[in-house]
């Protein structure tokens, strides 16, 4: 196994690669003995031996508690069942004919999901299943399949409900607003907990039960509860996928890759959170959770915390947590939380940025072919993030110096970095109230092209022609650019093995769908 930093094509487009660079890319792509994947965390790509990669995948797929081998794919028949449910929703008035056409599986492009893993190089080598192969995070790609738009439809209703519990965290800034400057007893312990393999251990029957109960708790006459649950059950029970020309089905849990997976996970742990904060004889304070990451302050002793962990691990079958305990400083998400003593002797919580050991600060290389404003925006956004997380100027300086040291090696001008760092600290004010909008905001029309010498000139000329048209005098025309592919795009491939082709003619499936609709 080899680890490399993410590298970018520094030329104007792929046609400007040197022959050596082109041949290197070609050799890597055609080398059947290696496979390249992004690391699970950090900015690296990992080059692995194909046989070791396949062995790690099969180690997971042969676990009969979660996966089973299939003689044939299920997704063609799943498409028929989904269409049947959608037709019922259409006839009941819950969706329009236009929504039906969007959600209905497209038999002309019907394809299978495929399985891949992201190597967890941040795990200690002693825990790797093979000395040269780290464990992998299982992902099931669900792009443009028979159920990808159905998952989007389900998440439309689940996501707003998934945030309606007191422990919910939206993001890092929500967490900081909740805990920063909170006074605590100096003897209390700082704790974090990680739910082990949450998505994989979410039992399907419990997931459906918890979501049904949530619908009953928050009724909505305009929400098709039974239809959503039926579609949810179809996508959970028929989560088949392909790996190396074989088909498998996931029998327990939700695959990472499903659109509604984060919302369903938040709902799945609602009762867990309630019992964690109220069910034990010692109640943690400032308890909050971001998906599978938990933070809290423990007012008891370490032996009592061990009993609390045992209690939590008995609440929901398959859900296990592992605690990290610190006396003075602890990491959570991308922050360090530490105890600070005020001149009055009070102990309060403060925060500062935290960088994981796998964080290589692989921001865009300065020699990449992008607009100048892109690089300035990247730097400024990072310094703004540091300021919002930092409780003091010293914390802010520490984080900025860490990033600046890395960016100097990536071609950034040190004086520009220092200038933006000062500007952000002295002039940026987060959460400042916005003035009332008394002036009409013009509609924005972006002109989007690739960024290279030709397309940037084309973009500017195109934008001028639009502005010259009197129809658009009240419209703001802006130039926008998208990047060309980088080396990571060329080298990283998700699918493993030859791609599966439907044995059944898509036109036959379409005829069966039409017959089904007519029968209904």
Say if CB 113 and CB 242 are below 8 A apart: yes
Of 99, 142, 103, nearest to 260 by C-alpha is 142
Smallest CA-to-CA distance from 115 within 222, 244, 17 is with 244
The predicted pLDDT at position 90 comes to 92
Please give the Cα distance from 438 to 156 (Å, whole number): 32
Question: How far is C-alpha 84 from the geometric centre of its chain's CA atoms?
Answer: 31
Separation CA 179–CA 348 (nearest Å)? 9
Instruction: Confirm if 403 and 382 have CB atoms less than 8 A apart.
Output: yes
Going by C-beta distance under 8 Å and a sequence separation of 6 or more, which residues neighbour residue 78?
Answer: 146, 147, 234, 235, 238, 240
145 phi and psi, to 5 degrees? -105, -175
Q: Which of 101-110, 135-144, 187-196, 391-400 has the lowest mean pLDDT?
A: 101-110
**Any residues with CB less than 8 A from the CB of 516 and at least 6 apart, and which?**
80, 83, 84, 87
Q: Which two tokens stand for residue 219?
A: 């009724």
Cα distance between residue 430 and residue 410, in whole Å = 28
Nearest in space to 356 (alpha carbons), one of 14, 44, 116: 44
> What six digits make up the tokens of 370?
């992008």
Dump pLDDT digits (tens) for 62-103: 999 999 999 989 998 899 899 999 999 999 999 999 999 999
Kindly report the number of other CB atoms within 10 A of residue 236's CB atom. Answer: 23
Give SS3 for 306. helix
Do the beta carbons of residue 227 and residue 40 sit within 8 Å? no
Q: What is the pLDDT of residue 248?
A: 93
Q: How far apart are the first and last CA of the chain?
A: 55
pLDDT at 13: 35
Residues sharing a CB contact under 8 Å with residue 96, sequence separation 6 or more, in sequence order: 90
Query: Residue 293's closest CA among 160, 175, 210?
Result: 175
DSSP string, 321-336: EEEEEESSEEEETTEE
pLDDT single digits (tens) 455-477: 888 888 888 888 888 888 888 88
- What percentage of the chain exceeds 90 in pLDDT? 53
Q: Write the CB contacts of 49 (distance below 8 Å, at least 6 apart in sequence).
A: 1, 33, 34, 35, 132, 133
**Which is it for the CA torsion 432, 435, 437, 442, positive or negative?**
negative
Considering only CA atoms, give the Rg of the chain: 26
Q: Is 0.85 surpassed by the pTM of this model?
A: no
Q: Would the pLDDT of 440 be above 70?
A: no
Give the E-state strand segments of 244-395 in sequence order.
246-250, 285-290, 293-298, 321-326, 329-332, 335-341, 347-353
The pLDDT-based confidence of 290 (bands split at 50, 70, 90) is very high
Distance, C-alpha 489 to centroid of its chain: 18
Alpha-carbon gap, residue 74 to 160, rounded angstroms:
31
Of the chain, the percentage scoring pLDDT greater than 70 comes to 88
Q: Could you give the 3-state DSSP secondary structure of residue 399?
A: helix
* Residue 435 confidence (pLDDT): 52
If one compares 429 and 284, the residue with the highest pLDDT of the two is 284
Asked if pLDDT for residue 211 goes beyond 70, the answer is: yes
Bigger pLDDT: 372 vs 170: 170
């Amino acid at each position: 196994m080899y680890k490399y930093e993410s590298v970018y094509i520094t030329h104007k487009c792929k046609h400007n690669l040197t022959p050596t660079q082109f041949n290197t890319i070609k050799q890597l792509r055609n080398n059947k003995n290696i496979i390249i994947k992004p690391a699970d965390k950090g900015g690296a790509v990992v080059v692995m031996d194909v046989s070791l990669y396949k062995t790690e995948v099969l180690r997971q797929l042969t676990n009969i508690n979660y996966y089973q081998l299939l003689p044939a794919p299920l997704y063609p028949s799943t498409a028929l069942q989904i269409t049947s449910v959608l037709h019922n929703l259409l006839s009941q008035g819950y969706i329009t004919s236009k929504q039906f056409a969007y959600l209905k599986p497209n038999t002309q492009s019907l394809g299978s999901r495929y399985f891949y893993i992201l190597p967890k190089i941040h795990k200690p080598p002693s825990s790797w299943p093979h000395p040269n192969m780290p464990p992998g995070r299982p992902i099931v790609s669900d792009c443009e399949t028979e159920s990808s738009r159905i998952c989007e439809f389900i998440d439309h209703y689940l996501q707003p409900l998934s945030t309606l519990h007191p422990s919910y965290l939206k993001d890092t800034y929500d967490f900081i607003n909740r805990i920063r400057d909170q006074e605590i007893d100096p003897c209390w312990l700082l704790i974090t907990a990680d739910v082990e393999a949450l998505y994989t251990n979410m039992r399907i029957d419990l997931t459906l039960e918890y979501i049904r109960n949530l619908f009953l708790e928050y009724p909505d006459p305009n929400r098709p509860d039974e239809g959503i649950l039926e579609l949810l059950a179809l996508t959970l029970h028929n989560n088949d996928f392909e790996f190396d020309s074989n088909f498998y089905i996931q029998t327990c849990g939700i695959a990472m890759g499903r659109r509604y997976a984060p919302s369903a996970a938040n709902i799945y742990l609602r009762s867990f959170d309630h019992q964690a904060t109220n069910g034990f004889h010692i109640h943690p304070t400032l308890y909050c959770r971001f998906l599978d990451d938990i933070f809290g302050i423990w007012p008891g002793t370490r032996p009592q915390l061990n009993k609390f962990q045992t209690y939590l691990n008995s609440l929901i079958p398959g859900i296990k947590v592992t605690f990290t305990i610190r006396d003075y400083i602890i990491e959570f998400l991308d922050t360090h939380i530490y105890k600070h003593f005020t001149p009055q002797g009070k102990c309060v919580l403060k925060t500062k940025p935290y960088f994981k050991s796998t964080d290589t600060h692989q921001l865009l290389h300065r020699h990449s072919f992008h607009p100048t404003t892109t690089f300035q925006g990247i730097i400024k956004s990072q310094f703004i993030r540091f300021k919002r997380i930092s409780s003091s100027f010293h914390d802010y300086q520490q984080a900025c110096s860490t990033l600046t040291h890395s960016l100097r090696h990536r071609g950034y001008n040190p004086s520009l970095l220092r200038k933006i760092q000062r500007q952000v600290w002295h002039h940026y004010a987060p959460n400042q109230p916005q003035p009332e909008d008394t002036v009409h905001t013009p509609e924005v029309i972006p002109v989007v092209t690739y960024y290279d010498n030709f397309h940037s000139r084309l973009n500017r000329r195109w934008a001028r022609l639009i502005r010259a048209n009197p129809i658009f005098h009240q419209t703001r025309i802006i130039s926008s650019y998208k990047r060309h592919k980088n080396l990571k795009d060329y080298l990283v491939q998700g699918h493993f093995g030859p791609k599966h082709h439907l044995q059944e003619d898509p036109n036959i499936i379409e005829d069966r769908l039409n017959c089904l609709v007519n029968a209904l």
